[in-house]
A = this chain, B = another copy of it.
Amino acid sequence: MSKQEPQVVSITDLPLEKAKWVTLKKIDFIDQTGTPRTWEVAIRKTTSKSGVDAVAMGTIFVHPSKPPSTMLVIQYRPPVGKYTIEWPAGLIDADETPEEAAVREMKEETGYEGRILESGPVVSSDPGLTNATLKLVMVEVKLPEGEENIMPDQKLDDGELIERVMVPLSELYDRLIQWSKEDKYMIAGKLFYFAAGMHFAKNSGYV
């Protein structure tokens, strides 16, 4: 897909007054015992009116004669300096609902129009570090027989270079483990946890 490997030129301090997307805040609070404490937090400057920052799509592809699968996206992520394996996701625009954003981002990143199966609660992305929140929206796409290999065009934003990979749900956990062993890739935590939950339910004998 790519013409060349991405290359980091420099990593430099970013003073708050120059940051456009993220900022740092200090929270002074009184804890349950009455003790004054502080906490440092990374804050997105882009939270939508819906009060949720982002939406991620649990993509389920069903087909008359192929196993139920999920479409993952692979993209270079500068914060981790690797290609990440993730579910499609994106920030919610100012006047969008999370579900509108889910359908839009699904179309942009995968090329497919999906049907929302379930829209999850607002959850915290990393509650020790940031106030960022997201919703997991499960989205189903029904592929007609014979059209499984014709992927529709993506509608990517400028600068987005996103590769698509289809993986049968029954193989997802093992495939993620394989990818994680290659230095070039890193698995996004939330996708891994979903796969680990499926794997545990199927194999532990406890659920």
Question: Taking beta carbons and an 8 Å cutoff, which residues of A are in contact with B?
Answer: 1-16, 18-37, 39-42, 44, 54, 58, 60, 62, 68, 76-81, 84, 86, 89, 120-134, 136, 138, 159, 161, 169-170, 176-177, 180-181, 186-202, 204, 206-207
Contacts and interface: CB of A to CB of B under 8 A. Distances in A.
A31 to B, nearest CB: 5
Given A29-B7, A33-B161, A192-B120, A130 B200 contact: no
A46 B122 CA distance: 28
Nearest to A206: B68
Contacts of A54: 128
Contacts of A170: 207
Contact of A197 (B78, B130, B131, B195): B195
A156 to B, nearest CB: 12
B198 A129 contact: no
A202 B197 CA distance: 10
17 contacts: A8-B28, A9-B28, A9-B30, A11-B25, A23-B24, A42-B129, A58-B196, A121-B176, A121-B177, A121-B180, A121-B192, A123-B180, A124-B189, A126-B130, A138-B200, A169-B207, A190-B190
Contact of A14 (B24, B31, B37): B24
Nearest to A38: B78
A206 B128 contact: no
A4 B34 CA distance: 7
Contacts of A201: 197-198, 201-202, 207
